Structure 1
């Protein structure tokens, strides 16, 4: 059974829900909703990963997410912090965050020495290494093709794993996200090749997280399908993730995924 990360973007310019949850009360209410619908984790972000988004200051990023973290952590809710800045990551861990979801794969400049002591103090802490063709900082054009995308992702994961293991981070703490949509390429077939070859990635990196929710590649392959109309195609992809037993799935619509998961599992049962 997959662990579901419910997406909670506290930003102005996230591609799907920018501006909806900037008010702390609205963000907390959305967090409650995601948990009621069956989220195992709240994946909280104060900095949009939209390729057209602007960078906010580290102080503003933390101010956006802190009220939500402070509200839910004392209730025992598991919080994942979607941030690539070491200083924000450290504050999050000190406030009770138990998963760091880094879209740069822990390559962004800054001192990450705190991770070693954080893992020693909190062995349950997860670090999600995400692959992106440009680490999602520069907006250069992707050169990834369907033929070479898996090899590129594997090489990146191996490199990041080696560096983190050298910091005495245990491999059991590491999770891996291949990135999808514009994180990989404007060509939707690059993302579909990753979905087709998930088993290859999973063999070497079993602790996979995959997020396809409302992504650009789903809209592009269907003739620029608007974001608001991508729920059904998202669910089709998420059923594919369930089929391959991907352990962590990141989504906007937790309820629909939980409902689909229940029906999917019933369909697989054998008397």
Structure 2
């Protein structure tokens, strides 16, 4: 493999006042950083690491070449708002994407709802609690899960999506299957969230391109049935994820999907050990170099239980909030969570601290 350098914004500061030329704004968010960690990989190994102040980044980029210059341009470029039907979701601050599983077997909340109306009511409550959009799923993709027949999945989600969309709630559909995407979009969903990044169903990319809707491409390794059976990476995982997402963005664009409609998710828990997940979390700011808004789904994940005495899924709220705030600090735009009200409250405190820092004394 060739040598390549990656840029990770770091050394974050509370506010840019009095620091002209010494700090840069991260992807148009409420995060400013004063240094860039430049990591060079020579094939599969880490060959060099340098910490470059923002004030010296132009000289460093000139030495690294066009690929690094393009990543830097992506890092400092603001992301345009999501337009989901009549709803506009700004991406200059972290937003909550609520998880609504209408499945009997999801790892955390499967089988909660006795009827489509009960599921829709839960979605209404999530929106009222502050979720910017509700992500509806009809198939569990937890480790070890089996595929669901596409028509069964479509039948599960259709009445729930239709009810939520009719109320004015912004809805995304969490699916790998083109038929389910088509059903949800026809019922009023305005975004697709594909954990397979358009690799599972040969018709999926064309379906999204034809709809012209936003699409979340999530990194994964293997399938839900096999992904947690000794996952392995031949190179540092954070950079392997970056390269894979870059390739999937290019494939989506080649399929006719507008680049500005693409979001990326590094895929916490999808073909990754606890150590892999921690490395990805520590490198979240790296993925701004891809030039797409970042989605993070770390809520109630297995890594939290592994680091907290094997706490069961319904007792992982504190860990979920810790990961959400870690992501917010690194400019992640969408946080996909189970616990909406609690996450919204945590983000309001984060936003209050940020606003205070950005108010000149």
Alpha-carbon offset, residue 75 of structure 1: 2.1
Paired residue for 1:30, among 105, 111, 122? 122
Task: Show the counterpart of 2:305.
Answer: 219
Distance (Å, rounded) in 2 between the aligned partners of 1:109 and 1:229: 35
Distance (Å, rounded) in 2 between the aligned partners of 1:111 and 1:267: 45
* Number of aligned positions between the proteins: 264
Query: What is the SS of the residue equivalent to 1:89?
Result: helix
Deviation track 1:125-157 (CA, whole Å, cap 9, x = no partner) reads 210000111143544624335962112211211
Asked if the contact 1:2–1:247 (Cα under 8 Å) also holds between the matched residues in 2, the reply is yes
TM-score (norm 2): 0.70
Deviation track 1:152-203 (CA, whole Å, cap 9, x = no partner) reads 211211211111111221100000000112x132x21111111111111122
Task: Identify, as 1 or 2, the structure richer in strand.
Answer: 2
Deviation track 1:238-259 (CA, whole Å, cap 9, x = no partner) reads 1111111211110001111111
Task: Show the counterpart of 2:348.
Answer: 262
Alpha-carbon offset, residue 56 of structure 1: 2.0
Task: Show the counterpart of 2:190.
Answer: 98
Say if 2:110 is the partner of 1:18. Answer: yes
Task: Show the counterpart of 1:127.
Answer: 215
Distance (Å, rounded) in 2 between the aligned partners of 1:250 and 1:200: 19
Distance (Å, rounded) in 1 between the aligned partners of 2:117 and 2:302: 29
Query: What is the SS of the residue equivalent to 2:97?
Result: strand
Deviation track 1:105-133 (CA, whole Å, cap 9, x = no partner) reads 100133232322211xxxxx210000111
Distance (Å, rounded) in 1 between the aligned partners of 2:111 and 2:322: 27
Task: Show the counterpart of 1:122.
Answer: none
Say if 2:209 is the partner of 1:116. Answer: yes
Task: Show the counterpart of 1:253.
Answer: 339
Q: Which runs of 5 or more residues in structure 1 are unaligned?
A: 120-124
Distance (Å, rounded) in 1 between the aligned partners of 2:290 and 2:128: 34
Asked if the contact 2:143–2:228 (Cα under 8 Å) also holds between the matched residues in 1, the reply is no
C-alpha RMSD of matched pairs (Å): 1.7
Q: How does 1:42-121 map to 2 (within 5 A)?
A: 42-112=134-204, 113-119=206-212
Alpha-carbon offset, residue 87 of structure 1: 1.3
Task: Identify, as 1 or 2, the structure richer in helix.
Answer: 1
Distance (Å, rounded) in 2 between the aligned partners of 1:80 and 1:142: 31
TM-score (norm 1): 0.92
Alpha-carbon offset, residue 82 of structure 1: 0.2
Distance (Å, rounded) in 1 between the aligned partners of 2:280 and 2:311: 21
Larger Rg: 2
